[in-house]
Amino acid sequence: WMFKLSEWANFSSYDVGLRSGSTASHILVFDRRTKRLVEEAIDGKIVLSMRALYQSKVGLTLIDSGVKDILKNLSEKQGKKMNSPESAKDIPKFLELFAGQINMDETKDPIESFKTFNEFFIRQLKPSARPIAHIDDGSIATCAADCRLMAYSSVDESTRFWIKGRKFSIEGLLGADAHYNAFKNGSLVIFRLAPQDYHRFHVPVSGTVEKFVEIPGCLYTVNPIAVNSKYCNVFTENKRVISIISTPEFGKVAFVAIGATMVGSITFVKKEGDYVHKGDEFGYFSFGGSTVICVFEK
């Protein structure tokens, strides 16, 4: 049952339309391509399991008494499995599971070139697959990933409408080594990736990478059922890596890559001191679903 709590089982869909009944997840997404409000379809048993664990006092007790360690160990074990040659046989099953949601024509390399599941999962796309909007205008930020996107003008707004953790704050999210006073009441953009998404993330602004700060932590799911819970603090307790990017147009921008259940591995392809251009590849998440948060100065 613990495996079923993973993002692997998150059957998100852009085309299912509105659903109701026992299998409904009640996670609504506005699809900008079709201009439709759709619901992410998640198996009803998984929804009940997540709610029991993340949205109840009993679940909180389980989390505090060792479930977080189980999730971490499970993620590490699954990560090793997905790096093994035997895992390549799961690629066709995954494509079948998410039929219509993964466009292999966009993929840079042919499917037969992937020797493990993780090689497929962190696949690169053809340069033309994701054109960068206003590429020569540094005053316009772009999307950091294929995702379900939420943008808030302030942290207070985000906690009223989305993040319900007991102790969420910018200081808690960034940690002492990456927090600046200018971020305190800044804007917040959340990019949530589901398993079927392209799992490389890109720089949303142009500037210089000042630093990377790695913060160890838990590996809770980043599913909204957990994020919207008042009983746990997904974004401030999960493992994450923070990058501070210094830009002429936005000042400092905090780029936070957050691990999740089945996502113990966060890899950056840039280093401190690098100048990055808007749209450059910045890194990738290995197997699972995950989240990027960008914090802009006030």
Q: Residue 86 pLDDT more than 80?
A: yes
pLDDT at residue 249 in the model: 95
Give mean pLDDT, residues 244-256.
Answer: 96
- What are the extents of the domains in the chain? 3-71, 133-296
Q: Provide the pLDDT confidence category of residue 146 given band limits of 50, 70 and 90.
A: very high
Q: Provide the pLDDT confidence category of residue 14 given band limits of 50, 70 and 90.
A: very low
Other CB atoms within 10 Å distance of the CB of residue 91: 17
Give mean pLDDT, residues 271-278.
Answer: 97
CA-CA distance, 174 to 157, in Å (whole number)? 18
List the beta strands (DSSP E) in 182-298. Answer: 187-193, 200-202, 207-215, 240-247, 251-258, 266-268, 275-276, 281-285, 290-296
Q: Residue 290 pLDDT more than 90?
A: no
Q: Provide the pLDDT confidence category of residue 13 given band limits of 50, 70 and 90.
A: very low
Q: Provide the pLDDT confidence category of residue 41 given band limits of 50, 70 and 90.
A: low
CA-CA distance, 31 to 8, in Å (whole number)? 21
- Name the least confident of 46-60, 257-271, 275-289: 46-60
Three-class DSSP category at 141: coil
User: Cα dihedral sign for 68, 72, 77, 81?
Assistant: positive
Catalytic residues: 146, 202, 290
CB-count burial class (<10 Å; 0-12, 13-18, 19+) for 30 = exposed
Q: Provide the pLDDT confidence category of residue 158 given band limits of 50, 70 and 90.
A: confident
pLDDT at residue 287 in the model: 80
Give mean pLDDT, residues 9-25.
Answer: 35
How far lies 113's CA from each of 65, 91, 110, 124, 196, in Å? 43, 12, 6, 12, 19
Nearest to 184 by CA among 156, 164, 163: 156
Query: How many residues appear in the chain?
Result: 298
Give mean pLDDT, residues 108-130.
Answer: 95
pLDDT > 90 in the chain, percent: 42
pLDDT at residue 198 in the model: 94
Tell me: the pLDDT tens digits for 161-199?
556 555 678 888 899 888 878 898 889 999 988 888 999
Higher pLDDT, 239 or 289: 239
Q: Residue 232 pLDDT more than 50?
A: yes
Give mean pLDDT, residues 214-240.
Answer: 79
CA-CA distance, 190 to 20, in Å (whole number)? 26
**Which residues on neighbouring strands pair with residue 202, listed in sequence order?**
281
Q: Provide the pLDDT confidence category of residue 113 given band limits of 50, 70 and 90.
A: very high
Nearest to 22 by CA among 57, 55, 51: 51
pLDDT at residue 11 in the model: 37
pTM for this model (two decimals): 0.82
Q: Residue 17 pLDDT more than 70?
A: no
Other CB atoms within 10 Å distance of the CB of residue 45: 13
What DSSP state is assigned to residue 194?
P
pLDDT > 70 in the chain, percent: 77
Averaging pLDDT over each range in 20-29, 54-63, 169-178, which range is the top one? 169-178
Three-class DSSP category at 7: helix
How open is the CA angle 181-248-271, to the nearest 5 degrees? 80
Q: How many Cα atoms sit within 13 Å of 296 on the Cβ side?
A: 19
